[in-house]
């Protein structure tokens, strides 16, 4: 029955447990009222820190020689299939290099395209020894191209102060290296100006 000592003891113990900061007198005072608002003390959750996967630093990559091509792999014939793949990639990107295609549309797509596998030629340079170098681009970095020539020689050609040309299906495009000082991944998201000053 309501009002029994057992019920009162239970309610008192429940309130004491639910509101540990309140004194017995305050609890008794609350029992004389109709409504009782229980306090809630949630347990603090400890946040687990996520461990970030650390990659290699530039110094570690150089020490491990991750981007170096072994001398026995420096052969032009090995990378000809890569060039064929690149040609198919460009044709798909430009929806076929047709004679009636607009040059500025193709040019804008080539500026953002991946050039690994493209055959390029240095047509102009402030350093005469670079002029005439032709080969397949094996690696593109922010400031340089690594090119393998038909003579199986790996050439490191800086982008700065050099003009490169590439030809595909009769379409010739010129790359001004001084305006091309970007990594391949950064270049795909960059907006290039169609008009601007052109120099070495």
Domain count, the chain: 2
Alpha-carbon span 149 to 78, nearest angstrom: 12
Q: What pLDDT is recorded for position 146? A: 94
17 and 109: one domain? no
- pLDDT at site 21: 73
* 132 part of a folded domain: yes
Walk along the chain (200 residues) in steps of 10 and give the mean pLDDT of each run.
69 77 73 61 70 76 80 91 93 78 78 90 93 93 92 93 89 86 79 61
Asked, for residue 41, whether it belongs to a domain, the answer is no
Nearest residue to 160 via CA among 124, 194, 184 = 124
Residue 79 sits in the same domain as residue 19: no
Q: Is residue 198 part of a domain?
A: no
pLDDT for res 197: 53
d(Cα 159, Cα 144) in Å, to the nearest integer?
Answer: 5
Domain that holds residue 178: 72-189
Total-model pTM: 0.65
């Amino acid at each position: 029955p309501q009002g029994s000592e057992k019920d009162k003891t239970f309610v008192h113990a429940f309130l004491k447990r639910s509101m540990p900061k309140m004194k017995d007198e305050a609890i008794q005072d609350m029992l004389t009222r109709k409504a009782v608002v229980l306090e809630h003390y949630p347990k603090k959750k400890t946040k687990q820190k996520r461990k970030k996967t650390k990659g290699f630093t530039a110094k570690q990559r150089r020490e491990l020689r991750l981007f170096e091509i072994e001398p026995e792999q420096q052969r032009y014939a090995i990378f000809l299939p890569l060039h064929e793949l690149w040609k198919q990639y460009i044709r798909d990107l430009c929806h076929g290099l047709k004679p009636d295609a607009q040059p500025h549309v193709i040019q804008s797509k080539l500026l953002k395209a991946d050039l690994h596998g493209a055959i390029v030629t240095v047509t102009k340079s402030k350093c005469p020894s670079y002029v005439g170098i032709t080969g397949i681009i094996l690696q593109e970095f922010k400031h340089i191209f690594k090119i393998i020539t038909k003579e199986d020689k790996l050439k490191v050609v800086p982008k700065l102060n050099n003009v490169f040309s590439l030809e595909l299906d009769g379409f010739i495009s010129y790359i001004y290296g001084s305006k091309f000082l970007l990594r391949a991944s950064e270049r795909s998201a960059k907006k290039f100006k169609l008009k601007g000053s052109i120099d070495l």
